A and B are shown apart, each in its own frame.
Chain A
Amino acid sequence: MPIKTYREAINEALLQEMKKDENVVVIGEDVAGGAGTNGEQDAWGGVLGVTKGLLKHFGRERIIDTPITETAIMGMASGAALTGLRPVAELMFVDFMGVCFDQILNQTAKFRYMFGGKAVTPLTIRTMYGGGLRAASQHSQCLYPMFTHVPGIKVVLPSNPYDAKGLLIQSIRDNDPVIFMEHKNLYDTSGDVPDESYSIPFGEANFTREGKDLTFIAMGQTVEICNNVADTLKKEGKTCTVLDLRTLSPLDEDSILEAAEETGKIVIVDESYPRCNVATDISALICQKSFDSLKAGIKMVTPPHTPVPFSPPLEDLYLPSEEKVLNVAKEIL
């Protein structure tokens, strides 16, 4: 099977869906780049090159570079979805939700409910999240718990190239608003990705490792961390289950309980701020619905309750790492 990077997988999903459906348009800042200049058109293809090359296939009518104006981008994408397009809007960094959250929180997420079920809003918002690039407090946050909190939107966190393509195609085809969150550190990771179009349904978590001694629950980039720790522990004779949630909303509660009950010892690894995050949410779920299966207190590996620091040694201390996850796992093994 062809090997592709996470970045290529996302680009291929956009290319294939735009070819398939002329209502799909890409909207965002520098999604092509070079607009209005005398220099290279498609100069950037997105700030990290994810949408590079789409311009030559679809032109500026469908690869729409906007001013730096996140509220107008999110509003325009929502309104376009409401009236017959199938837009993929880019919020360059998820941190910028601060300047446009009304259009997501109060408008697009609520159209369907407020309008008594009459609205159909097939909107995909692509955004980058996560630390590790020394990008400091305003370009490194996760913030997915804040979207997960809001009824009416779906939250997708692909952890690998295969999932990135299949989940993005599903996001675009899906008739509800979706926020599709790409971890910056994953763009250069690679894996098997079929050339054909395929879609992965939402709400179906994925078991990436199976074991008997401990269960890791992970999402986005932390899946790879947990896989590596599980492989390390296997050499020491302990086998671990790793569950990749894939989508936070909808949440695959059945698989979470299945994974928890398999071992009774659970470590949840979540890169978002520790209060009211996905780890606390899942921990509460397991305690409510499967308390008797627990053989040890649920452990969480998260950053501390601080903004993301800039200085490299500080950021390394801040982020969940294999070493931290391994140590926490050993506490209950």
Chain B
Amino acid sequence: MSTNLVAITMPKWGLSMKEGSILKWIKSNGDNISKGDMILEIETEKVVNEMESPEDGKILKICANEGDTVPVGSIIAVCGKQDASNEEIDAFIEEFNSNFKSEINLEEGEEDLNEKIKVSDLEINFIKNINSNNENILFIHGFGGDLNNWMFNQNELSEKFNTYAIDLPGHGMSEKNIHSSTLDDLANLISSFCIATDINSVNLVGHSFGAGISIKTASLYPDLINSLTLISPIGLGKEIDSAYLENFINAESRRDLKKEIEKLYFNSDIITRDMLNEVLKSLRIDNVQSTLSKIQNEIIINGEQKNNLIDEINSAKVPVCVVWGKEDQIIPSNHHEVLNDRIKIIIEKDCGHMAHIEKPSVVNDAINSTIVG
């Protein structure tokens, strides 16, 4: 078998994805591609997104056409460093397919990977992916999010690290009723979660409000934390779109919610009805709105950010990386200017508040290099 040829396969975005549909090929047969280039648009049950090339080389043959729906892991294109004959390519595809056995049984219900653990009297839902590597990553989502926000990151990074993603209280499948939700409380909760799951040291990856929790945890529990990768963190300036939080909490219909969710992204085409439905399902559960209102009050006071974490982040003793979408409409990216030069800053253009979803490879590389150094 030629070592020149490489299979590009249907990615697995999120742990429950079973199949994906090809919406559009951005690249064509014969195009040269580099790692990180957007090569096609894929639609899953939850999301529409562009897939980044995993390889450098040239697209030699596209095997799955626009409109096709194929299982995760099946071949969608053949890529090579140099040209190859048609016979060679067909033989490669045939061999791939004869070896390919979808791990996913489309007929069966999906395996539930969620686990629950009692932490500080609250039931906390999380998903872990352990592969005995020494470094642990814990993903902490932002206000109104859940652990599925890391669908483009957790799987990818699990190849190299032990990964954990949690649902914060009041979010996802964690307990909905909370009494107090200050950053200190939630930092304590993260520490307790680590104790409960036998994590001795951890690299935190936090988004927005979750980034604030991460900074606070590093400040209160410096021995626990190895590094921080922060995406659009709170706490570095006064400005924040406070109407977003208010309207998000009170959204009743898919249409109301869509207007708000669009503010999160540079390219709002990414939003599907299913994505909105998942958020609405969560918002409609009793006590979720009141819990989110409590959290809102910990983020915002008089229309401005309540927390100032500048000293805490600048004095952190561990590697810190901040990734910010240049076009972030929720928290302006120029808040990074208060950071000292020990902190690595990545400002990504054509990207909004959700860099980990809009620019996953940038975020994944940032996490990787922050941990590995």
Contact = CB atoms under 8 A, between A and B. Distances in A.
B69 interface: yes
B255 interface: yes
A194 B109 CA distance: 16
A207 B284 CA distance: 17
A237 interface: yes
Contacts of B109: 3
Nearest to A206: B277
Nearest to B177: A196
Nearest to A199: B284
A198 B273 contact: no
Given A201-B253, A204-B253, A254-B255, A210 B285 contact: no
Nearest to B284: A198
Given A1-B112, A204-B254, A254-B255, A197 B273 contact: no
Interface string A69-84: 0000000000000000
A198 B67 contact: no
Range for the number of chain A residues in contact with chain B: 20 to 34
A284 to B, nearest CB: 23
Contacts of A332: none
Interface string A38-65: 0000000000000000000000000000
A254 B258 CA distance: 14
B252 A201 contact: yes
B242 interface: no
Given A206-B277, A234-B69, A237-B67, A196 B252 contact: no
Interface string B227-259: 000000000000000000000000011110000
Interface string B43-80: 00000000000000000000000010100000000000
B173 A1 contact: yes
Contact of A200 (B67, B69, B284, B286): B284
A239 interface: yes
Interface string B115-154: 0000000000000000000000000000000000000000
A166 interface: yes
B201 interface: no
Contacts of B67: 237, 239
A265 B33 CA distance: 39
Interface in B262-277: 272-273, 277
Contacts of B285: 194, 196-198
B272 to A, nearest CB: 7
Nearest to B176: A196
B101 interface: no
Interface string A199-238: 1110110110010000000000000000000000010010
Contacts, number: 35
Given A207-B273, A234-B69, A237-B67, A196 B253 contact: no
Contacts of A196: 176, 285-286
Interface in A105-162: 162
Chain B interface main SS type: loop
B281 interface: yes
Contact of A198 (B69, B272, B286): B286
A196 B252 CA distance: 18
Interface residues of B, number: 17
A204 B109 CA distance: 27
Contacts of B176: 196
Contacts of A255: 254
Contact of A210 (B252, B273, B281): B273
A245 to B, nearest CB: 14
Contact of A166 (B253, B272, B284): B284
A239 B67 CA distance: 9
A168 B144 CA distance: 25
B112 A210 contact: no
Contacts of B173: 1
B284 to A, nearest CB: 4
Interface string B195-239: 000000000000000000000000000000000000000000000
A162 B273 CA distance: 17
Nearest to A237: B67
Interface in B62-107: 67, 69
Contacts of B255: 254
A162 B285 CA distance: 12
B107 to A, nearest CB: 12
Nearest to A241: B273
Nearest to B175: A196
Interface string A247-270: 000000011000000000000000
Nearest to A212: B67
A196 B285 CA distance: 7
Contacts of A237: 67
B272 A210 contact: yes
B43 to A, nearest CB: 8
A166 B254 CA distance: 16
A78 B42 CA distance: 52
Interface of B: 67, 69, 109, 112, 173, 176, 252-255, 272-273, 277, 281, 284-286
30 contacts: A1-B112, A1-B173, A3-B109, A162-B281, A166-B284, A194-B281, A196-B176, A196-B286, A197-B285, A197-B286, A198-B281, A198-B284, A198-B285, A198-B286, A199-B284, A199-B286, A200-B284, A201-B252, A201-B253, A201-B284, A203-B253, A204-B252, A204-B253, A204-B254, A207-B273, A210-B272, A237-B67, A239-B67, A254-B255, A255-B254
Given A3-B109, A237-B67, 19 more contacts: A162-B281, A166-B284, A194-B281, A196-B176, A196-B285, A196-B286, A197-B286, A198-B281, A198-B284, A198-B285, A198-B286, A199-B284, A199-B286, A201-B253, A201-B284, A203-B253, A204-B252, A207-B273, A210-B273
Question: Top 7 A-B pairs ranked by shortest CB distance?
Answer: A198-B285, A197-B286, A198-B284, A196-B285, A207-B273, A201-B252, A204-B253
